[in-house]
Amino acid sequence: MDFRLSPEERLILETVRTFVQAELMPLEQELQAAELEGRGQDYPDQATLRGLQLKARDLGLWGLQTPEEYGGVGLGTQLTVLATMELFRCLVPFQFGGAADNILFACDAEQRKEYLLPTIEGERRSCFALTEPTAGSDATNIRMQAVQDGTDWVLTGEKVFITGGNEADFAIVFAVTDRAKGAKGGITAFLVDRAMGFTSRYIPTMGSWGPARLTFNGVRVPGRNVLGEVGKGFELAMRWIVNGRVIIPARAVGRSQRLLEMGVDYARQRVAFGRPIGDNQAIQWMLADSEVEIEAARWLTLHAAWLQDEGIDNRHEASIAKLHGAQTANRVADRVMQIHGGMGYTKELPIERVLRDVRVFRIYEGTDEIQKRTIARDLLRGTHGHGRWE
C-alpha cells in the first residue's frame, strides 16, 4: 500500500481544507445559537447550503465521486475518504454538491435523463429506501411487495428510518418481486416518484438526523422504472451499503479529531487547584487514548478504501473500519464531555449535540453487532484474518 498523494491530489485536499476553514467554520457559532433557540435542525437552511455548494463548485469541488463524464471530479475512494475526514472536522452539516447514490449509475439511458442527471445537478433529490419495521440489520427480511400488473408494478408496504425521505422527490425502493427466489433473486429496485403516491412522515430522533417513514399503499410504478434488472435489487443494495461502511468511519474520524482538539485546548486553559487540568494524569490518559483510537480508525478506513480502489473485495475490512470508527467517535465524544465537566453537558458548547449525533454511527449502515457478526463469520470460514495483504 502506498498512501502518498500526487501533487494534484494534495491540491484537491488543500482546497477542501481551505473551503471548510473559510466558508463552513464561521457558521458554527450561528449553528450553536440556533441550537440554543431550538431551531438547530433547520440551520443552515437549504438556500444557504445550496449557495455553499455552488461556491464549492467554483473551486472544483463538485461530485467528488461522480465520474468526469457526468461533470464530477471522479475521485477514488481513498481521496474521498480523506476529503470526508476534512469536511467532518467542521460541525456544520454540509455535503458537496454534484453527487448521486452510487447505484443510480445503474440507470438506463432514459432513466439517466429523468433521475441521474437532475440529481447530480441538484434539481432532484433521492433517498435510499431499504429498511422496514421488521427488516433493519436483516435486510434480506424485507416484506414490501411489488406485484406485476400488466407492464406496471404495484408496491405496498412501509419503509422506516429513511435518510432524506421527507425531502426527496423520488425514492430508490427495494421490494419483493418473487419471494420463492429469496433475497439473491427475488428483490427488485424501483425508482418511485413522490407524485406516484407514496407519503412520508418525520421520525423524531435524539440527534439532528431526521429520517422518515415512507408509506406505499398500492403505488403504481411503470415497468420502465425498474433500476437495473428484475430480481437483482439486493446486489444494488449491498453495493450502496458497503460504500457507506467506508464513508461513515471517515466521518467518525473527522468528528473525533475536532473533538479531541477541543479537549486539548480546554485541558491547556482550564485551571483547577492552581494548575491546568492537562497536568493531571487522568486528563492526559483520556487525551492519549483518544489520539490512539483516532489514528487506528484513520488507517483502518484508509486500508478499506485502498482495497476498494484496487478492486479487491473489502467487505471484511469495511466492517472493521466501520465498527472501530463508530465506537471511537462515541468514546471520544464522551471523554471530551468529561474533560469539559459541567460545561460540556450544557448546550452552550456543541459537545452534547455531537455526542447525540454520533450515536447513530453505531446503528445505521449495519449495527455494531452486524459488523462483529460479519468479521467473526469471515474468521470462522477461514477467508480472512491474521492480516491480509494482497
**Active-site residue set:** 365
Q: 294: which 3 cell numbers?
A: 483516532
What is the dihedral sign for C-alpha 340, 343, 347, 349? negative
Phi, psi (rounded to 5 degrees) for 357: -70, -40
Backbone region of residue 268 per phi and psi (left: phi > 0; alpha: psi in -120 to 50; beta: other values)? alpha
> Which residue, chain included where needed, has cell 425521505?
165
Q: What is the DSSP letter of 190?
A: E
Give the integer Cα–Cα distance in Å for 2 and 387: 17
Within 13 Å and on the Cβ side, how many CA atoms surround 89?
Answer: 19
Instruction: Name, in order, each residue with C-beta under 8 angstroms of 125's C-beta and a sequence gap of 6 or more.
Output: 119, 164, 167, 168, 169, 170
Rounded to the nearest 10°, the torsion over CA 225, 227, 232, 234 is -110
CA 79 to chain centre: 16
CA pair distance 37, 39, nearest whole angstrom: 6
Residue-by-residue DSSP string for 80-118: HHHHHHHHTTSSS----SS---GGGGG--HHHIIIIIHH
State the DSSP H helix or E strand holding residue 155, giving kind and residue range, or none if neither.
strand 152-162
